[in-house]
Structure 1
Amino acid sequence: MQLTNILGLIAALAATSANALPNPTTIVERQSPGIGIIRFYAGSGCEEPWLEDTVFFQGDKCLSNEYTAPYGSFRVQSNGFTRTARFFVNPVCNGFGPGNYIDVLPGETKCFAGKVTSYSFL
């Protein structure tokens, strides 16, 4: 009898226990303002293989992209920026000439072909 009671108690405990795993979508939604995650891909249209995720921090000065390995495209995977981000092809936020930068609005997430060497915020 005692073994049956113990097994019943264990089964009842297992049935009522809660699973506390985080939901990945809510983690991204709770991300701090001013932080974006940029995912780099080998292909020119954000197709696999996925190479690297890099965190970009919003700031008041020109910042360099720390990921320097070869890649063909990038996706703004998570965008917590509160100002428009400007991604430059050239170093030190040099945007002279057409096609040398891409503007990404706050909250915008999508794929872009090309390189990001430096970035700043408008």
Structure 2
Amino acid sequence: MQPQLRSTIDLTPLIGLLLAMTALVLTVVPVNEAFAPLEIEPPVYPVGSFEPPQPPWRVTINAQGQLWLSQGESRSRLVEEAEILNVVPASEPIVLHASAEARYEVFAVLAAYLDANGRRVAVVNEDLH
């Protein structure tokens, strides 16, 4: 009877060798680069030149699908989608907030509309107070 030839390669020694080499490389590589000190000086503003950021614009969607626009502590007012683009400057983000009873479809359509018109949109699921 003739010996049968095996056509597969035994990978067990190769896997052991690769694991040993990986462990060796991980122990030899210097870790000093991860702890490089950053010498960045804080920005210096002239006295009286710093203006606090404006409070964000907020659009709230109620259960009836109405859109209410406000900024900071100002009183909310009822608006349409197109009016939001006219009132809120293009450089400022818009925070979307929907009540728990609001339909998702209204929220999704408004978010897509604002995004399509180049507005930055943020989403919150709780009050900002």
Q: TM class, shorter-chain normalised?
A: under 0.3
**Which structure has more helix as a fraction of its residues?**
2
Greater RCO between the two (CA within 8 Å, min separation 6)?
1
**Which structure has more strand as a fraction of its residues?**
1
Q: Over alpha carbons, which structure has the higher Rg?
A: 2
